[in-house]
Chains A and B, each alone.
Chain A
């Protein structure tokens, strides 16, 4: 699948921890596209901000590489979560919400998300494209949790369904995603 082999990844991590500029440039070339994709799936319709987030993500990778623990997961997984968290943080920032002209949360955001899901039907990218294969009641929950960063409690409230159901549906949706990814 064109991913770096384990040895290369270890070498890369080591070089990054030594603050090697060439290794960092290599990292950017190999992963910026994948990370930019996830950022754009969360920070929709604002390429300028998405660029800013990508820049912030790579600076954070450089600064926090020492906190990366290989025993807890692959380098990409760690970076993907940094990118997702940075995007969601932006999504939740006051400035962004004002710029999106949303007045109230969370209903408006949810409605927006639902609308976006419909709007993006044509040009959905990355994981979102895969979400379309899920059943709608599953897809909405994954959207809210993964792309909007809502907690399970918040989702239960928004969707007016029991917390247990939220958990089960999300877990099932993720298992289905795993099958699609294979």
Chain B
């Protein structure tokens, strides 16, 4: 399109003075967004028209202004939902709602994370309490078991004392000869290298019988050992981890005799 030719067609003046047809107006407005020089030319004509009109102004009677201002003062009271004033109020309200929504969202997000953190903390505490309870229950159960064994009338207590090899070693065997149950309570047994364990033996007619192994760390806790119906004596030796088939007598730590003969 030849813009200069279009400008010289008089369309700008027609448009500005309100003499252009509807289709001419639409076309001009469309072309204005496409050709900045059209807008420049339009503004130039508008300015000269405005300048001329201002210079040739006719002052209206002064009372008209008062009437106009008075009439305009009455207008805002007639605001309705469709008016621009109503629209402005709705826009303000809408902005307030959006702002309130964001404040709420931030608040709720904060609460959510705070609650989640608290929940996590409580779960952790709960878990720790449960672990403590489990441990305590286990210990209590052992104490109760020990108490049962100790207080039973059928049980014989065999006090085992240290040998020359280990004078300080001591342990008690609780032996229920009717039911053949053997329990061991370690009182004081020195610590061992990790590849070694203590082993409890029953001596029956001078022959050793394996009653199981235990660690020095099982200190003061009652241990259920293997059953034996007969025993003239109990003995503890140091053996390789897992125990031996026959006792290493040189390493005998402690020994205690029962009342049983034969």
Contacts and interface: CB of A to CB of B under 8 A. Distances in A.
A54 B62 CA distance: 12
Which of A24, A32, A34, A175 is most buried by chain B, counting CB atoms within 10 A of its CB? A34
Given A36-B59, A126-B56, A174 B19 contact: yes
Interface stretch (B65-73, B152-160, B204-212, B232-240): B65-73
B67 A175 contact: no
Nearest to A30: B54
Given A19-B85, A62-B75, A76 B59 contact: no
B55 A76 contact: no
B1 interface: no
B54 A3 contact: yes
Nearest to B41: A178
A33 B65 CA distance: 11
The majority secondary structure among interface residues of chain A is helix
Interface residues of B, number: 46
B113 interface: no
Nearest to B65: A28
Contacts of B71: 55, 59
Contacts of A85: 18
Contacts of B50: 1, 3, 34, 74, 76-77, 80
A180 to B, nearest CB: 9
Contact of A37 (B14, B16, B57, B73): B57
Interface string A112-131: 00000000000001110110
A120 to B, nearest CB: 14
Contacts of A80: 18, 49-50, 53
Given A58-B72, A59-B68, A77-B49, A174 B17 contact: yes
A175 B56 contact: no
A181 B68 contact: no
Nearest to B51: A1
A133 to B, nearest CB: 13
A92 interface: no
Interface stretch (B5-13, B118-126, B139-147, B170-178): B5-13
Contact of B13 (A55, A58, A177): A177
A164 to B, nearest CB: 13
Contacts of B53: 34, 37-38, 76, 80, 126-127
A162 B70 CA distance: 49
Contact of A178 (B13, B29, B60, B67): B13
Interface residues of A, number: 53
A172 B10 CA distance: 7
A36 B60 contact: yes
Which of A33, A85, A130, A172 is most buried by chain B, counting CB atoms within 10 A of its CB? A33
B260 interface: no
Contacts of A55: 64, 67-68, 71
Given A37-B56, A37-B57, A66-B84, A146 B19 contact: yes
Contacts of B76: 19
Nearest to B15: A73
Given A76-B46, A170-B19, A33 B57 contact: yes
A19 B74 CA distance: 13
A30 to B, nearest CB: 8
Contacts of B13: 171, 174-175, 177-178
Interface of B: 8-14, 16-19, 21, 29, 32, 42-43, 45-61, 64-65, 67-69, 71-73, 75-76, 84-85, 87
Interface of A: 1-3, 19, 21, 24-25, 28-29, 32-34, 36-38, 40, 47, 51, 54-55, 58-59, 62-63, 65-66, 71-74, 76-77, 80-81, 84-85, 125-127, 129-130, 145-146, 152, 170-172, 174-175, 177-178, 181-182
21 contacts: A1-B52, A1-B54, A2-B51, A3-B51, A19-B85, A25-B69, A32-B60, A34-B50, A36-B59, A54-B68, A73-B46, A81-B18, A126-B58, A127-B52, A130-B52, A170-B19, A174-B10, A174-B17, A178-B13, A178-B48, A181-B52
